[in-house]
Structure 1
Amino acid sequence: MEWHEEAIVLGVRRHGETSVIAELMTRTRGRHLGLVRGGRSRRMQPVLQPGNLVAAHWRARLDEHMGTYVLEPLLSRAGRLMETPLALSGVQLAAAHIRLLPERDPHPQLFDGLTVLLDHLSDETSAGELMLRFELKLLEELGFGLDLLACAATGQAHDLVYVSPKSGRAVSREAGAPWADKLLALPAFLAGTNEAADAAAIESGFRLTRYFLARHVYEPRGLDEPLMRSSFITAVARSLPNRAQGS
């Protein structure tokens, strides 16, 4: 059994004296592990940094075996991603999110989203919003997608300011007013408006995804939220203007 595909390096762990087990994200084969012989060599260590794009050749006697990789560098992002706390925590968080997916389960849209995210993690103006949208897509791919484009009570598509913690659906200002203290805030930029995604809106968005990640993913699996998520959110807050939504 063998295949060739482009892949994003998520991380590695040591195996024996000279080799590593590489964890890659591929577009059609999902998160996939494999042994890289000589992966701890001076030549391979720069290639096997998280965020890098590689050409992966996987081979095994049987499909269910871990198999071995032969990897060649295609695009090195690691140096740039290690330059700032925002990008460094971002690539670590993105890898932690991908690890929530079953191994070898294809998620091509998440692969594409991860590619865009990694290419913009050094951009202070867009990194936070892209990570937030990546978390929303992750929830969707795991079967817990939110419906943020129409009110659950009225069906209207305007003035959406809340999200129901029970259904994950948007709620309009008027319909949600009697239960406002029990509803989650919906940032305007996630409700299909042209509002800017400033620091306050991004922070509100991350509170929204935190609630549903905890409820549907972390708590049922007995997991804690990754520490680098708080680090990333803090770095985003320091990089964006903290003006009020709608100003």
Structure 2
Amino acid sequence: MDWRDDGIVLSTRKLGENSVRLSVLTRDYGRHTGMVRGATSKSMRGTLEPGNEVRVGWSARLAEHLGQFRCELTGAHAADILLQPGPLMAMSSACAMLDVTLPEREAHPDLYHGTIALLGALKAEQWLPSYIRWEVGLLEELGYGLALDRCAATNEVTDLAYVSPKSGRAVSEPAGNAYRDRLLTLPAFLASGRASQARETTGFGDQLRDGLKLTGFFIHRDIFEAKGIKPVAARDRLVSHVWRLNADDEK
């Protein structure tokens, strides 16, 4: 058993004195684990940071064995945003989410390419909307996609302002106003249809919080609770960071 592929480092766990158990998301082989020998060396520690892109080779006597990885760094994303707390937390959250939610050895090429795009977007000023859109994509890849392109009640594609917590479908402002206390807010930057003027003038900080609340609701209910997965601490830290930033901006 021997293959080579491009991958994204998701996590490492110490295995013996000088080795680690490495988890990577590969383009063609999905989330895969294997042992890396000599991983405690200075050069390898920098290579195996979560969020880095690597060229990996995996080999084992049998397909069901843990196997061994050979790794070569191709993109040091962790170093690029080391001094930016928000983007660094978002990268840690994305890696941790992939590590705990994806089945092992099942290819998800669209999610792989979407994550590569996210790693690049985290270096831009508007990194948080990109992260929230990535979470929407993760839900879709896992079978819990949100239908944000038209109103569930009227089939209209404009003035989309809410999301039904039951169906995950968008609801327009006119159709949902009477039930707004039972609906989730759909931020304008996620709505496929043109938002109403009232929605367009909503503070962007509020939209970001609404976006994290929206994806977080479905992630916790449909993935964490449904599959018995412990909530991802890295995502909780990101959410707390965003809340603190917006609280400081409002002072």
**What is the TM-score when the length of structure 1 is the normalising length?**
0.90
C-alpha contact (below 8 Å) 1:31/1:105 kept by paired residues: yes
C-alpha contact (below 8 Å) 2:11/2:96 kept by paired residues: no
Quote the RMSD (CA, aligned, Å). 2.1
Deviations 1:116-137 (A, max 9, x none): 11122233x3211111011111
Q: Is structure 2 residue 24 aligned with structure 1 residue 24?
A: yes
Partner of 1:104: 105
Q: Is structure 2 residue 44 aligned with structure 1 residue 44?
A: yes
Matched letter for residue 40 of structure 2: R
Secondary structure class of the residue paired with 2:43: coil
Partner of 1:12: 12
Partner of 1:221: 227
Q: Pick closer, same or farther for the CA change 1:82–1:16 going to 2, 3 Å.
A: same
Deviations 1:208-228 (A, max 9, x none): 111111110111223343232
C-alpha contact (below 8 Å) 1:198/1:241 kept by paired residues: no
Partner of 2:147: 147
Secondary structure class of the residue paired with 2:145: coil
CA distance in 2, matches of 1:97, 1:169: 23
Secondary structure class of the residue paired with 1:44: helix
Q: How does 1:43-192 map to 2 (within 5 A)?
A: 43-99=43-99, 100-123=101-124, 125-192=125-192
CA distance in 1, matches of 2:56, 2:151: 45
- Unpaired runs of 5+ residues, structure 2, are none
Secondary structure class of the residue paired with 1:43: helix
Q: Is structure 2 residue 211 aligned with structure 1 residue 210?
A: no
**What is the TM-score when the length of structure 2 is the normalising length?**
0.89
Alpha-carbon shift at residue 77 of structure 1 (Å):
1.7
- The number of residues matched between the two structures is 242
- Unpaired runs of 5+ residues, structure 1, are none
Deviations 1:59-85 (A, max 9, x none): 111112111111111121221232121
CA distance in 1, matches of 2:163, 2:104: 31
Q: Pick closer, same or farther for the CA change 1:64–1:206 going to 2, 3 Å.
A: same
CA distance in 2, matches of 1:240, 1:57: 46
Amino-acid identity (%): 41
Secondary structure class of the residue paired with 2:189: helix
Secondary structure class of the residue paired with 1:39: coil
Alpha-carbon shift at residue 54 of structure 1 (Å):
1.1
Larger displacement relative to structure 2 (194-203 or 46-55): 194-203
CA distance in 1, matches of 2:191, 2:46: 41
Deviations 1:30-71 (A, max 9, x none): 111011111112231111111111110111111121111111
Secondary structure class of the residue paired with 1:190: coil
Secondary structure class of the residue paired with 1:165: coil
Matched letter for residue 97 of structure 2: H
Structure showing the higher helix proportion among its residues = 2
CA distance in 2, matches of 1:177, 1:90: 33
CA distance in 2, matches of 1:77, 1:64: 31
Secondary structure class of the residue paired with 1:51: coil
